């Protein structure tokens, strides 16, 4: 494993370059399997292989109780396809790096039980949508984080070392607005689920705008006006269609659509005040 990407240097199989589902790999039966480990069902798992111009390959994998989609990928890599590439780190729903598209829906694979998503013994795993594919299930997150930067998604200190620490009460309305948005870990699930991101290359996306909203409510931040200008353009919060796809798919239960609506209000107030 290198840089969080599970893969090994083995010869590329020609069998995954044909028609969808053409290649089917069956697992060997380990000698140590006993009656307690005997699976009751064999899954047909269709996995994206290759880059942007790749195709799907199908693997037959035993279904076990409590098995996650990430567990399933690990078994495929260990026993059937050592060259399979996918990204993960914590395996505990903390880092978000294992996000992929499972049966057409972006999810964290480490927190997704196979038994809850398989459909009649079939499962499809693909890379996140709206991002370039490096190899197999690994996407290039550069466009995602570049838009985060364009939205001024970092803290700009407003005080100097000579100023006293800001005192912010937990029940302050702005502090509560931050609480509702701050738990984003940048997994890219909302970015993948957003239809506007799909057809509008300039759109900053729900994660970047959600971050901008949390910083807009931070009274210590010194880049408020600059940030509002950054998200007020045609690729900013005005491009959001309020379809709530981001809120529906967010594994953390956040609502970027509400954050974007808050940004629209702040931009409107700043425009009325002649600041924009």
Q: How many other β-carbons are positioned within 10 Å of the β-carbon of residue 93? A: 15
Query: What is the CATH number that goes with domain 5-139?
Result: 3.10.20.30
Q: Name which residue leads in pLDDT, 242 or 9.
A: 242
What residues have CB less than 8 Å from 5, skipping those under 6 apart? 85, 86, 87, 138
Residue 1 has pLDDT above 90, yes or no: no
Mean pLDDT of the chain: 87
SS3 string, 8-54, reads: CCCCCCHHHHCCCCCCEECCCCCCCCCHHHCCCEEEEEEEEECCCCC
Q: 140-151, pLDDT tens digit by residue? A: 999 999 999 999
Nearest to 87 by CA among 13, 3, 146: 3
Instruction: Give start-end residues of each CATH 1.10.1060.10 domain in the chain.
Output: 142-272
pLDDT category at 164 given cuts 50, 70, 90 is confident
Q: Name which residue leads in pLDDT, 163 or 201.
A: 201
pLDDT category at 276 given cuts 50, 70, 90 is confident
Query: What is the CATH number that goes with domain 142-272?
Result: 1.10.1060.10
Mean pLDDT along residues 124-152: 97
pTM score above 0.75: yes
Q: What is the pLDDT of residue 9?
A: 36
Burial class of 106 by CB neighbour count within 10 A (0 to 12, 13 to 18, 19+): buried
Instruction: Give start-end residues of each CATH 3.10.20.30 domain in the chain.
Output: 5-139
């Amino acid at each position: 494993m290198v840089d969080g990407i599970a893969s090994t240097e083995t010869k590329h199989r020609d069998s995954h370059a044909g028609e969808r589902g053409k290649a089917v790999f069956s697992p060997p039966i380990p000698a140590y399997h006993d009656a307690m480990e005997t699976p009751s069902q064999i899954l047909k798992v269709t996995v994206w292989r290759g880059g942007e111009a790749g195709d799907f390959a199908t693997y037959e994998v035993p279904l076990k109780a409590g098995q996650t989609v990430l567990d399933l990928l690990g078994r495929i890599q260990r026993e059937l396809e050592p060259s399979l590439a996918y990204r993960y780190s914590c395996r505990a729903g903390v880092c978000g790096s294992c996000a992929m598209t499972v049966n057409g829906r972006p999810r964290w694979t480490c927190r997704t039980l196979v038994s809850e998503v398989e459909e009649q013994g079939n499962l499809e795993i693909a890379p996140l949508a709206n991002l370039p594919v490096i190899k197999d299930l690994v996407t290039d997150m550069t466009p995602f984080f570049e838009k985060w930067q364009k939205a001024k998604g970092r803290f700009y200190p407003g005080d100097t070392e000579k100023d006293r620490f800001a005192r912010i009460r937990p029940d302050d309305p702005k502090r509560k607005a931050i609480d509702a948005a701050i738990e984003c870990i940048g997994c890219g699930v909302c970015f993948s689920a957003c239809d506007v991101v799909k057809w509008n290359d300039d759109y900053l996306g729900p994660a970047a705008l959600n971050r901008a909203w949390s910083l807009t409510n931070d009274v210590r931040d010194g880049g408020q006006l600059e940030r509002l200008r950054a998200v007020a353009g045609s690729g900013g919060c005005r491009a959001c269609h309020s379809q709530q796809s981001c809120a529906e798919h967010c594994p953390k239960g956040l609502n970027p659509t509400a954050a974007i609506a808050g940004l629209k209000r702040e931009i409107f107030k700043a425009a009325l005040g002649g600041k924009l």
